[in-house]
Structure 1
Amino acid sequence: MQISQVLAQPHAKKFFIARFISNYGNGMSPIALAFGILALPNGSANLLGLTLGVTSAMFILMVPFGGVIADKYGRAKMVGLTDTLAGLILFIQVFYFASGDVPLAVLLIVNGCYGILSGIFWPAFTGIMPSIVPEAGLQKANAVNSLAANAGLILGAASAGILIDTYGAAITLGIDAASFVIAGVLVSTLSHLTPPMANNTNTMMKDFVDGWRVFKSFNWIVIVVVSFSFIVMCWAAAENVLGPLIALEHFNGAKSWSVVITAESAGLVVGALVAIKIKPKYPIRFLQISSFTLCFYMFSLAKPQSLLVIAICAFFFGITLDLWGTLWYTALHRMVPRDALSRVSSFDAMGALVFKP
């Protein structure tokens, strides 16, 4: 199936546009949140780490049930609802950042709620693609989806440093919140593609247990999820907390760190282009070997002598990340039963992120 045929599918373009809009905000969000918190009177790396930790904890607690909710009530419907609610909740945080005083309770409650909504969003989002394109076009569709998402990340990350320096973190976070609302409304129009389960009278716990059984029946999924959890642990700690601190101490603050994030995002775009063409005989083995690019990224941050070196390492790691996203989700879409896809994806997300700082 060619790219033109993927794009010709009736609902594909709308889905990709929604992903681009949402990720434009996401590209700015981590930079704006990090420098916004660090600029507070009580701002510190500990406060930033605590805020990110609450988001991750709530995500991990919710995501196993998020898959159940998505499979039971409709995936596109849940994506639209959670995106819209997340945007509205994040606007509360924007108001406090604009005032210059963000109480700890606000940071924890807002970002905790965001983590809960993300725990429903992610497995729901992961399960939509097979309802948009036929199986023959899944890898190319996942690659195009990554391309749209990463283009948004690049534009968001590239503009983040300028926006923060010119208008402050509050305006930047406000754009992120608005992007969630717009994307949520767009995806809501696709709800008819992923209707709720027909005649499902099971309890939530019964659906949860059934999803767990499907997940653990695929040994290759379990092995990869466990190994990827350690990759995420190292990457998230370095990029979300250590990186901004290094940029402040050794380089030029937000502008410098936005260069690194932009380089990584450019790597994501290149990875998506590669994923359109590549057909490895053993895709999972290929992905595991390619993960060693993270080591070079970590070494460049451990001895921050050159921003260029850090950016180059981030670029190659970005390629690896996108190949992971495209090839991994294509494997899940093809191998996992359609009616359990979001539940299996939820256990995948929970396992991969359980050690995320």
Structure 2
Amino acid sequence: MRVKESLGALGDPRFAWYFAARTVSTGGSVMVPVALAFAVLHIDASAGALAQVLGVRTLAMVVFLLVGGVVADRFSRIVVLQVSHVLTCLTQAVAAALIISGHATLTQLTVIEGINGAVSAFTMPAMMGIVPLVVDRARLQQANALLSFSRSGLAVIGPALAGLLVVGVGPGWALAVDALTYAVAIVCLSRVGLPRAEPGRVRRPSMVRELREGWSEFTRRQWLWVVVLAFGLTNAIHVGVIGVLGPLIAASSEAIGEAGWGLVLSAEAAGTVIMTLVMLRLRLEHPLRAGMLAICVLAVPMVLLGALPALLPVAIGFFVAGAAVEVFGVGWSTALHEHVPVAVLSRVSSYDALGSFVAMPIGTFVYGWLATTVDLETLILVSAAVYVVISLAALLSRSVRDLGRSSEEPTEEPTEEPTDEPTEVRTVAMPATAAGRSSAPPQS
């Protein structure tokens, strides 16, 4: 496949503007994980404090996910994104101002991140539901790979830059940049121009009925709920080891340090970028089989972080893991877009996100507690082993191993048409995933 053909999805102006919006907002958000983690640790240098902020954010997201999925299917997904971006822009600006002025407290950051978590519950399902509407089905894998390439390419620079900002002028400035990028993304989203149904043309069913429809579509696909179940467990491990223990080890280690942790995350993104170039040209015939095998590689940086916490080996481990995440991410998004009807994509996505994220607050708090009671090396090595076992267990399901590609639109009984779908889309009823923010751990 030629380079021009690989970029063909950008030929549709709707996708091009959506791509621009995602790219701009990602440019700021890739700095947030580093900036937020060390902003918290500067206030309270303990695993418990970091676990509190991250755990509340994830908990708030989980609580609102199902509502977010219904809202994204019921109303214009572009409008949902714009409103969510406005709220995120404001909260990040407030957090930046508090941190830069030196008045931030742990309670304030916890509340702000709780609000951001709730907002992201609406953002992720809406983003997942937009992609099939702005690009031809034949270019879905390319579109997902391009979005991932944008996110990962910026993530190469973002964490390292955030680490330098933390050391040089403080973490608040990275959050200020993030707030600004959301404002620009709002303008780009206004140019996407998805068609809308005429107001009042159809009578929408109740929210409860729509949730039931989404649940039905989610549970009837074994490959879907099996992978989500696996990620519900592995995400809890990942957020505990990488999200809580990682910054703690980096901050207390002269071999890594705060700036080094930013470089480590940049190395992960570099691995993703390299693999994205491959995914633009390579067709995955069995996307979930390849994805679940690849995701086992995420245990590599965990092992290195526990057994050999030095900058170079840990960065190499993260580089390899980043490449593996990209294989899963593109394969998973493509499988969902090809096998789940567009009309319920956001609702099914919200069930995916709920299943994938529900144990993350528990993992965050548990690892924050374990860090004070268990030897860190032993804890990390055991966690890595369990991570691999769970990931491979998903492949025991034939529906996961053998799921192939589809060139036809999945169809179900037609229901009321969502307000932002093209008029020709009339089918009814996908895990939250690459649609999630880059600050989140890998998820389905």
TM-score (norm 1): 0.95
Structure 1 counterpart of 2:238: 235
Q: Percent identity?
A: 32
SS in 1 for 2:202: coil
SS of 2:100 mapped into structure 1: helix
Determine if the alignment matches structure 1 residue 320 to structure 2 residue 324.
Answer: yes
Given the alignment of the two structures, is residue 207 of structure 1 paired with residue 214 of structure 2, yes or no? no
Retained in 2: the 8 A contact 1:263–1:314?
yes
Q: CA deviation at 1:153?
A: 1.7
2:344 is equivalent to residue 336 of structure 1: no
Distance in 2, matches of 1:18 and 1:150, equals 15
Does the alignment pair 1:9 with 2:5?
no
Map of 2:225 onto structure 1: 222
Match of 2:274 in 1: 270
- Deviation readout 1:82-138 (Å, 9 max, x if unpaired): 012111122111121122232333222211110011000000001111111110000
5+ unaligned residues in a row in structure 1: which ranges?
Answer: none
Structure with a larger share of its residues in helix: 1
The alpha carbon displacement at 1:194 in A equals 6.2
- State the shift of 1:310 in Å: 0.7
Q: How well do the aligned residues superpose, as a CA RMSD in angstroms?
A: 1.8
Indicate the SS of the match to 1:192.
Answer: coil
Question: Aligned partners of 1:285, 1:257: CA distance in 2, in Å?
Answer: 31
Distance 1:230 1:196 in 2: 43
Task: Give 1:61-80 correspondences, 5 Å limit.
Answer: 61-80=63-82
Q: How far has the Cα of 1:205 moved from its partner?
A: 1.6
Q: Give 1:195 deviation, angstroms.
A: 5.8
Does the 8 Å contact 2:14/2:191 carry over to 1? Answer: no
| Amino acid of the structure 2 residue aligned with 1:140 | Q
2:54 is aligned to 52
Give the one of 283, 288, 294 matched to 2:287. Answer: 283
Q: CA deviation at 1:329?
A: 0.8
Distance 1:134 1:10 in 2: 12
Give, as a single letter, the amino acid of the residue that structure 1 aligns with 2:248. L
Residue 78 of structure 2: SS of its match in structure 1?
helix
Candidates 82, 89, 94, aligned match of 2:96? 94
Amino acid at match of 2:142: K
Work out which of the residue numbers 143, 148, 151 in structure 2 matches 1:149: 151
* CA deviation profile, 1:217-247 (whole Å, cap 9, x unmatched): 1111000111122222222222222111111
Alignment correspondent of 1:308 = 312
TM-score under structure 2 normalisation?
Answer: 0.77
Match of 2:354 in 1: 350
Question: Mean Cα displacement is larger for which, 317-326 or 336-345?
Answer: 317-326
Unaligned runs of 5+ in 2: 365-444
What amino acid is aligned across from residue 277 of structure 1 in structure 2? R
The answer as to whether partners of 2:40 and 2:106 remain within 8 angstroms in 1 is: no
The Cα of 1:5 is off from its aligned counterpart by 2.3
Range that drifts further, 187-196 or 160-169: 187-196
Mark the CA change 1:27 to 1:255 in structure 2 (over 3 Å): closer, same or farther: same
Q: Is 1:23–2:26 an aligned residue pair?
A: yes
Deviation, 1:281, is: 3.0
Aligned partners of 2:193 and 2:215: how far apart in 1? 25
- Asked if the contact 1:75/1:194 (under 8 Å) is kept, the reply is no
Query: 1:336: how far off?
Result: 0.6
Q: Secondary structure at the match of 2:284?
A: coil
Q: CA deviation at 1:168?
A: 0.7
Q: Whole-Å Cα distance in 2 between the matches of residues 174 and 342 of structure 1?
A: 30
The verdict on how the C-alpha distance between 1:263 and 1:193 changes in structure 2, with shifts beyond 3 A counting, is farther
Q: Which residue of 2 aligns with 1:189?
A: 191
Partner of 1:295: 299
- Secondary structure of 2:204's aligned partner: coil
Contact 1:267 1:318 in 2 (8 A): yes
- Aligned residues of 1:132 and 1:193 also touching (Cα < 8 A): no
CA distance in structure 1 between the aligned counterparts of 2:72 and 2:133, rounded to whole angstroms: 14
Relative distance call for 1:37 and 1:155 in structure 2 (3 A) is: same
Q: Distance in 1 between matches of 2:345 and 2:32?
A: 29
* AA in 2 matched with 1:279: R
Give the secondary structure class of the aligned counterpart of 2:135. Answer: coil
1:182-220 Cα deviation digits (max 9, x unpaired): 213322332534669961421212111111111111111
Bigger mean CA deviation after superposition, 306-315 or 103-112: 103-112
Corresponding letter in the other structure for 2:130: I
The alignment status of 1:82 with 2:84, answered yes or no, reads: yes
Change in Cα spacing, 1:122 to 1:191, as seen in structure 2 (3 Å) is farther
The match for 1:249 among 247, 252, 276 is 252
